[in-house]
Structure 1
Amino acid sequence: MGEAVSIISSASTEFNMEHRVPIAYSQNGAVGWIVLDRPDALNSLDRESVLQFTERLEAWREDAGIRTIAVAANGRAFCAGADLKQAGQVPEPGQKDLLDLIVILFDMLRAYPKPVIAAVNGLAYAGGLEIVLACDIVIAAEGSRFADAHSNFGVFPGGGGAALLPRRIPANVARYMLLTGDAISAADAHMYGLVNEVVPLEGLNARVQELGEKLARKSPLVLSAMKRVANEAADKSAADALRHELLENRNHGRSWDIQEGLSAFVEKREPQFRGY
């Protein structure tokens, strides 16, 4: 797979690609951009796009030059979910089906050791909503809309819609979205806590890049451990979650980054974290 180049501009949310591929990607400073690039199909997830998305995450996992991941899309939709034309296809013997591949991708996003920001530029339906649920921070353009939508087509969610949406927003709102399939606005998604910020469409990429650079200046060790503890806290008692936090704290106390951070504080300068 050849690497496609994207130009990230504060004046536009459109990514200019040298050639069309299901997933395009580029690096801007310490931020790695993964761009869903099937605009004519509303960026629905087919086998190739899921495989390429997963491959890019794997390639950047140990890349010290990439400190933050941004997930974005070309066109008027962020992602309309799984490509239903492929959803019922039976794979060749020994191959995973589309749902298997999507579950692997979403699990990877949720547990990814680097912060993941969703840059939602339009419709985020079904699997697109589940991508949003798998990301750490969500920045949405005005006019974006969010829906589970599975019930509209007699499809059952498999990437976290029914299991995780009630953990992110009020349970009665989650049930309404699941049962009706109706969409909510970016403003309502922000009010319910699904979205962190709503920005003008033309400033979406610039805001995500700015936020990604801010996160990239922090200790990767601290961010990774914080994400791990926060992800697991909901499934533990408060006492167990606190013990996990203390264990991570003790482990971090042996790192170079904490010594650098304390030295920078004393010396009144910006810390230069190395991630070990």
Structure 2
Amino acid sequence: MYQTIAYEVRDGRIAWIALDRPDVLNAMTDQMKRELLDAFKRADKDPAVRAIVLTGRGRGFCSGQDLADASKSEVSLGDNLRTLYNPLILQMRQMAKPIVCAVNGVAAGAGMSLALACDLRLCADNAAFIEVFVRIGLVPDAGSTWLLPRLVGLAKAFELAALGDKVDAAEALRLGLVNRVVPADQLEAEAQALASRLAEAPTKAIGLMKRAFERAFDHDLADQLEYEAHLQEVAGRTRDFEEGVGAFLAKRPPAFTGQ
């Protein structure tokens, strides 16, 4: 079905999406962007899927935009972002299901943006991040100027973008770019384990959490308190809330269904 990515559902509930152009460190072509958007929509619509893992094949996660492919494009850089990159990033940020990024190697440019757009990031100990745009006279895109400062702060985000220095796994963990660093040979298993925990969680509540945190920096406390009250009303009408309360009272582990 796909030519530049791989898609599979493991354990019946975890969708694995792998960038699959290892010979060019999974550099992104227009076709890959379209296929990624389709894959995330597919996972979002599948009621059996309750968590997603995004990773790369080979020794790199994603080296960013394939410049050879971009040179063939008849549209401007801005239009390429508007029509291909931006819908992909918005789909990832707006979908209710949690996305775990298993960063298996270098994540550069738009590849770094792709990792930042995920909800949680696991990083192999030999991986690295580079805001490479400045090296070719461009500005960070695909959401980086919005996502990066929310993770590391404005000053550090500007430093990473303006200098284009490589950030290794240990430094990425210290800065808050990633949630965990694991040995490279354990990355896939650790990502599956984390995704399994998320898949067992109350999926609708997880999605509401994503929405709440997404808007937190743009609203004052009073607005956010009211939004929390609204979301809590929504969560309180789910079957998983009933199950959670019932399990607590019965002193048994909950069996959430995502409903």
Contact 1:121 1:140 in 2 (8 A): yes
In the alignment, the residues of structure 2 paired with residue 163 and residue 213 of structure 1 have an alpha-carbon distance, to the nearest angstrom, of 29
Aligned residue-pair number: 255
Aligned twin of 2:17: 34
Unmatched tracts of structure 2, length 5 or more: none
| Gap change, CA 1:149 and 1:99, over 3 Å in 2 | farther
Question: Could you tell me how far 1:270 is from its partner in structure 2?
Answer: 2.3
Aligned twin of 1:25: 7
Contact 1:129 1:146 in 2 (8 A): yes
Question: Could you tell me how far 1:216 is from its partner in structure 2?
Answer: 0.7
Aligned twin of 1:5: none
Contact 2:112 2:131 in 1 (8 A): yes
Cα RMSD for the two superposed structures: 1.6
Aligned twin of 2:216: 233
Question: Could you tell me how far 1:273 is from its partner in structure 2?
Answer: 2.0
Question: Could you tell me how far 1:106 is from its partner in structure 2?
Answer: 1.0
1:90 maps to 2:74: yes
Question: Could you tell me how far 1:164 is from its partner in structure 2?
Answer: 2.6
1:161 maps to 2:144: yes
The secondary structure found in structure 2 opposite 1:79 is coil
In the alignment, the residues of structure 2 paired with residue 91 and residue 175 of structure 1 have an alpha-carbon distance, to the nearest angstrom, of 28
Question: Quick one: which amino acid aligns to residue 193 of structure 2?
Answer: E
Structure 2 matches for 1:80-229, cutoff 5 A? Answer: 80-88=63-71, 89-91=73-75, 97=80, 100-229=83-212
More deviation, 97-106/194-203: 97-106
More deviation, 196-205/82-91: 82-91
Unmatched tracts of structure 1, length 5 or more: 3-20
Q: Deviations over 1:83-129 (max 9, x none)?
A: 1123342149xxx6365201111111111210000000110000111
Question: Quick one: which amino acid aligns to residue 243 of structure 1?
Answer: E
TM-score (norm 1): 0.88
TM-score (norm 2): 0.94
In the alignment, the residues of structure 1 paired with residue 119 and residue 251 of structure 2 have an alpha-carbon distance, to the nearest angstrom, of 30
Contact 1:90 1:97 in 2 (8 A): no
Q: Deviations over 1:133-175 (max 9, x none)?
A: 1010000000111111100011222212233312210333222
Question: Could you tell me how far 1:215 is from its partner in structure 2?
Answer: 0.7
Q: From the two aligned structures, give the one with the greater helix fraction.
A: 2
Contact 1:87 1:99 in 2 (8 A): no
Question: Quick one: which amino acid aligns to residue 227 of structure 1?
Answer: K
Identity of aligned residues (%): 35
Contact 2:7 2:18 in 1 (8 A): yes
1:253 maps to 2:236: yes
In the alignment, the residues of structure 1 paired with residue 81 and residue 150 of structure 2 have an alpha-carbon distance, to the nearest angstrom, of 25
